[in-house]
């Protein structure tokens, strides 16, 4: 029987982990939904965001400015990659974009190693306070991370549903050709999506940095979980990405309390079971096409 305090702590841990997964994978989901490319380089911007947060917080003692810097650098890096690489391969097969983006990720890890070295780096927690939830001490920072993820989801929902550009992106998720037929500059739309995706990945890295040791391989280490999140939720689905992120976060967290190896095995089992029932994921559209 699991102790109630451990269960509450594990639940909050799962929420914060799910929040990081959401911020980390929402860009990947957007890129596939509109452009039909698998942008694994988002995990590079996640890594860079964490290192920028580390560097800035070490220099001036303020993590939040570092997180903001990670968002900016992540967005700019995504812009450069989109202009120099992805713009040339949009018409290629999906597998080609996946291999190309994985190559960018691997190459980017080498660049990170060159600038920051191989030694894992700790990042100071910006909020030391803890509060009691059902008799269990919970770090306030983890709740802040959950709140930020909720605000990001709300912001994305408002952007996609209440703005002209957002509605164009939603239409592009269903059929890019129709958007082009309306006279919308799809090329600029793609660039905007890449900048947003890169910025959110940088945000994920910056927020995750105080909870882990920042090191060059951190993007590669979460690669399998990122794939699981977008596959379970449904490629291209924003709501699906949110739901699956929290599902995977809770499975990893609670599973590790029950039996440590479950933290690695259970998410794969959940993914296989869901795909047996819903082959396109929980919220994936069977009509998605190139």
pLDDT digits (tens, 9 = 90+) for 270-284: 888 888 888 777 886
* Residue 248 maps to a domain: no
Q: Which of 29-33, 35-39, 192-196, 252-256 has the highest mean pLDDT?
A: 192-196
* Residue 263 maps to a domain: no
Which residue has 């047996």 as its token pair? 276
For 68, the domain range is 11-217
130 bridge partner residues: 139
8 Å CB contact between 288 and 236: yes
pLDDT (tens digit, 9 = 90+) per residue, 192-235?
889 999 999 999 999 999 999 999 999 999 998 888 898 888 87
* Residue 232 maps to a domain: no
Q: Report d(CA 162, CA 155) in Å as an integer.
A: 10
- Is the Cα torsion angle 24, 30, 31, 36 positive or negative in sign? positive
* Residue 260 maps to a domain: no
Q: Would you say residue 37 has pLDDT above 70?
A: yes
**How many structural domains compose the chain?**
1
The whole-number pLDDT of residue 289 equals 43
* Residue 135 maps to a domain: yes
Would you call 130 helix, strand, or coil by DSSP?
Answer: strand
Q: Which of 32-36, 84-88, 214-218, 248-252 has the highest mean pLDDT?
A: 214-218
| Other Cβ atoms closer than 10 A to 164 | 8
**Model pTM?**
0.90
Rg (CA), the chain: 19
């Amino acid at each position: 029987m699991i102790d109630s305090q451990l269960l509450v702590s594990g639940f909050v841990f799962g929420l914060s982990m799910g929040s990081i997964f959401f911020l980390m994978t929402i860009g990947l989901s957007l890129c596939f939904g509109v452009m039909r490319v698998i942008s694994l380089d988002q995990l590079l911007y996640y890594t860079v965001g964490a290192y920028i947060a580390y560097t800035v917080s070490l220099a001036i003692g303020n993590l939040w400015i570092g997180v903001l810097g990670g968002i900016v650098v992540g967005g700019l890096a995504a812009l450069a990659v989109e202009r120099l690489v992805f713009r040339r391969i949009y018409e290629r097969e999906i597998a080609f974009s996946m291999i190309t983006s994985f190559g960018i990720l691997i190459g980017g890890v080498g660049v990170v190693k060159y600038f920051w070295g191989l030694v894992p780096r700790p990042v100071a927690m910006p909020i030391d306070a803890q509060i009691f939830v059902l008799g269990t001490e919970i770090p306030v920072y983890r709740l802040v991370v959950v709140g930020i993820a909720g605000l990001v989801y709300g912001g994305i929902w408002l952007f996609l549903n209440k703005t002209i550009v957002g509605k164009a992106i939603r239409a592009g998720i269903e059929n890019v050709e129709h958007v082009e037929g309306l006279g919308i500059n799809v090329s600029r739309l793609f660039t905007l999506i890449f900048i947003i995706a890169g910025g959110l990945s940088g945000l994920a890295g910056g927020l995750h940095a105080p909870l882990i040791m920042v090191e060059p391989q951190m993007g590669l280490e979460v690669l399998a979980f990122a794939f699981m999140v977008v596959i379970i939720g449904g490629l291209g689905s924003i709501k699906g990405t949110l739901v699956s992120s929290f599902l995977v976060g809770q499975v990893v967290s609670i599973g590790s309390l029950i039996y440590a190896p479950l933290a690695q095995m259970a998410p794969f089992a959940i993914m296989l079971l869901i795909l047996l029932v819903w082959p396109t994921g929980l919220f994936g559209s069977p009509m998605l096409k190139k």
